[in-house]
Chain A
């Protein structure tokens, strides 16, 4: 069975640009969460979507937004990129909205120059 997939693998953008990252959850999983992982640190929660509705939002500015589609895939959008947005962006999926095993994808490495 395919795990969580993310695209693209790597991305280089310049300050001020916009980026869209994509995630496909494990088949049958209805929850998708997004995390940002800066080098040397643990992942930080950005958003959770469950059944296409936002269930949780972390402490990130409004430049970050996300959505979930009817097939449960998800997009993370970041506007007006800053150098500090350079990180590994991870997507995790779960069958449930809470209290269930979460499986991560390989991540998208975003570099902002």
Chain B
């Protein structure tokens, strides 16, 4: 079936650097995407979302980019902090009249002090 996958399973960055987490999706009909952060032992935390009629959306220290031509999402985190260390998932709404999200396996972001 359709799926969302991540290019890099682990990303290690220095504190203060910018982080970029990438994600590929396969369902060209999907029109809503969400990035989640999940810390150990906790539920996924909503970070930012983007709809298919947009190419870029910015939040506080985070930016999501959507390239529909190559079906690619990225999450950029500015001035990465130790508290950003977690697993990051991109999720794709499956389309149709449901909230079904399709998740990839996640990228572990490790911030080195």
Measured CB to CB, the residues of A under 8 A from B are: 4, 31, 33, 35, 40-45, 48, 50, 55-56, 58, 90, 92, 94, 96-107
B86 to chain A, nearest CB (A): 13
Please give, as numbers and ranges, the residues of chain A lying within 8 Å of B43 by CB-CB distance: 4, 90, 104-107
Which of B32, B42, B91, B98 meets A56, CB within 8 Å?
B98
B46 touching A102 by the CB < 8 A rule? yes
A105 to chain B, nearest CB (A): 5
B13 adjacent to chain A (CB < 8 Å): no
Given contacts A103-B46, A104-B44, 16 further A-B contacts (CB under 8 A): A4-B43, A33-B99, A42-B105, A42-B106, A43-B101, A45-B102, A48-B99, A56-B96, A56-B98, A94-B99, A97-B98, A97-B99, A98-B93, A98-B98, A99-B32, A99-B93
B100 adjacent to chain A (CB < 8 Å): yes
CA distance A19 to B32 in the complex (A): 33
